[in-house]
Amino acid sequence: MKPASKSKKAMDGLIKKIIRAIEVNDLCFMCEIPLFVPYSLRYLYDKKLHELQDIKVALDKNKINNKMQYRRNWLNFTAAPTLQIAGYKLIATEDELKRLSNKPEININNVPVEIPKRVIYKAKKEKDNG
């Protein structure tokens, strides 16, 4: 019985280290965590730590804080908006990416339709045989 409780205690300690690393280093993605804790990404996924709500909440909290900062900067015009938009797109959700893209999305009967790019055709000169 003791090995199981020791293992549980070690896992709780690892989870606390991960959450601390996320908060201190402003991490937004699971793949950044191994840079700050002594475990590989594969190990973290094997232990199903990517499914833990506490870790998801910590990562999402940082994403939301970063998005709020980007929007604040856009309103104040303090930095280059192109770079900020690129940074925002890195942490954006699917819906936010669609809204930021320059391509409008059209649905017909709930099926997305892609609008083709504008194509310019050259008119062929007809020979007058008359």
Q: Is 112 helix (H, G, I), strand (E, B) or coil?
A: strand
Residue 12, pLDDT score: 92
Residue 3, pLDDT score: 46
Give a yes or no: residue 124 inside a domain.
no
Q: What is the pTM of this model?
A: 0.62
Domain encompassing residue 10: 2-113
pLDDT in tens, 26-51: 999 999 999 999 999 999 999 999 99
pLDDT in tens, 91-121: 888 887 877 776 666 667 777 766 666 666 6
Give a yes or no: residue 121 inside a domain.
no
Give a yes or no: residue 41 inside a domain.
yes
Q: What is the mean pLDDT of the chain?
A: 80
Give a yes or no: residue 85 inside a domain.
yes
Q: Among 76, 91, 80, 71, which residue's Cα sits nearest to residue 31?
A: 91
Give a yes or no: residue 120 inside a domain.
no
Give a yes or no: residue 119 inside a domain.
no
Number of independent structural domains in the chain? 1
Q: Give the Å distances, CA to CA, from 39 to 8, 10, 61.
A: 17, 13, 23
Rounded-to-integer distance, Cα 4 and Cα 41, Å = 23
Q: Give the Å distances, CA to CA, from 10 to 3, 69, 114.
A: 10, 36, 51
Place of tokens 């590989």: 40
Give a yes or no: residue 13 inside a domain.
yes
